């Protein structure tokens, strides 16, 4: 297996990822639940061991399909770029860390990362992720 495709939940914000209490940094309950869900979906793909080599990661973030989005979609073909959505860079740390030791051995192995915002299609939003193992000969 050289490629995994996952349709996951709408990502959480980096702002909801960690908290500091009494000078101690910890991951929030929301972050732990998101990470567990993403890891569960990754295991459902049939991947037994994480990719050990270099990988490419493609992510499409689909905003939540709200009543406002539906209303705007009738007037503006680019409505999905204007509705409330996480900044595409804001959720990357959470997503990429969730795959460590599950899809790839370490996010340091990512050599190409593509992220974009898609048109909303479901009420709760979603994230489509493709992780491809790549030929290391390309990077020698």
Whole-prediction pTM: 0.81
- Report domain 3-132's class: alpha beta
* Domain parsing of the chain, residue ranges: 3-132
Sign of the C-alpha dihedral, residues 31, 35, 41, 42?
positive
Sign of the C-alpha dihedral, residues 132, 62, 28, 35?
negative
Band of residue 138 on the pLDDT scale cut at 50, 70, 90: low
* CA–CA gap between residue 70 and residue 89 (Å, rounded): 25
* CA–CA gap between residue 84 and residue 80 (Å, rounded): 8
Q: Kindly tell me if the per-residue pLDDT of 29 is higher than 70.
A: yes
Convert the pLDDT of each residue in 94-135 to its tens digit: 888 888 888 999 999 999 999 988 888 888 889 999 999 987
Q: Return the pLDDT at 10.
A: 86
Torsion angle of alpha carbons 108, 109, 113, 117, nearest 10°? -70
């Amino acid at each position: 297996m050289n490629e995994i495709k996952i349709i996951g939940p709408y990502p959480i914000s980096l702002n909801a990822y960690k908290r500091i209490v009494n000078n101690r940094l910890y991951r929030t309950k929301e972050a732990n639940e998101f990470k567990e869900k993403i890891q569960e979906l990754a295991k459902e793909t049939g991947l037994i061991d994480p990719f050990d080599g270099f990988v490419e990661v493609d992510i499409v973030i689909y905003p939540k399909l709200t009543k406002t989005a539906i209303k705007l979609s009738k007037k503006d073909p680019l409505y999905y770029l204007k509705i409330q959505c996480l900044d595409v860079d804001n959720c990357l740390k959470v997503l990429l860390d969730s795959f460590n030791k599950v899809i790839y051995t370490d996010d340091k192995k990512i050599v190409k990362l593509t992220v974009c915002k898609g048109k909303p299609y479901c009420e709760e939003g979603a994230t489509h992720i493709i992780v491809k193992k790549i030929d290391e000969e390309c990077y020698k």
